[in-house]
Amino acid sequence: SMLDDGFRRGVHEHAGGETMFYNRAGYSFPSHRQQHQRYIVIHETMHAFHMALNGHSTWAPNWITEGMADSIAHHVYDPEKQQLAVMVFDRAPMNYIETGLREYAEGGQPSIADINDDPALKRGLNFFIVHFLLSDPERALRFALFRDRLMAANPHSEATLPTANRLLKETFADWQQIETLFAEFVRGVRPSFHIA
């Protein structure tokens, strides 16, 4: 399917799938683990949805695009009841809690603004920001307002990070308090398991 659709890169070292802008199709690379396959399908579908919202993939920073895709794909599936729970914080298949804590320490305890302004992919930190913003009703509503304002601005490429940073600080009434609460949130995170 990938070759027929003109997608030539194929399976590579650091991805379980990809969603391509040019045809808005998501691809799940071969995997023998059903849990991983479900994760990738949910993750790539979120990317396709993200692209469909504004017609391109660069209108939001990594912490939103990858953070939302990883957060929603972090799931628990009950095969007997055929029930899927998404946006699960502390659960396999990926341990983004340990990853996020490591990235936070190695990065010198970066703020949300610092993470926003860094184009490098930091999956654990992105995961933390999304869960932090959604963990309080008022923050979740302001996050939705921020997302809507960012979509309306519809920035491209180089304009995305500064636009997102400005809108974050305009949307949240007391930005310094948000940064303080985020640091407290991360300091309070404790994983319940370790993948050996």
- pLDDT given for residue 4 in this prediction: 75
Query: Tell me, what amino acid is at 169?
Result: K
pTM reported for the whole predicted model: 0.89
- pLDDT given for residue 27 in this prediction: 77
Burial (CB count <10 Å: 0-12, 13-18, 19+), residue 189: middle
Where does residue 108 fall: left (phi above 0), alpha (psi -120 to 50 degrees), or beta otherwise?
left
What residues contact residue 166 under an 8 Å CB cut-off, 6+ apart? none
- pLDDT given for residue 151 in this prediction: 95
- pLDDT given for residue 16 in this prediction: 76
Which of the residues in the chain have pLDDT under 70?
2, 7-15, 22-23, 93
What residues contact residue 138 under an 8 Å CB cut-off, 6+ apart? none
- pLDDT given for residue 139 in this prediction: 98
d(CA 64, CA 61): 6
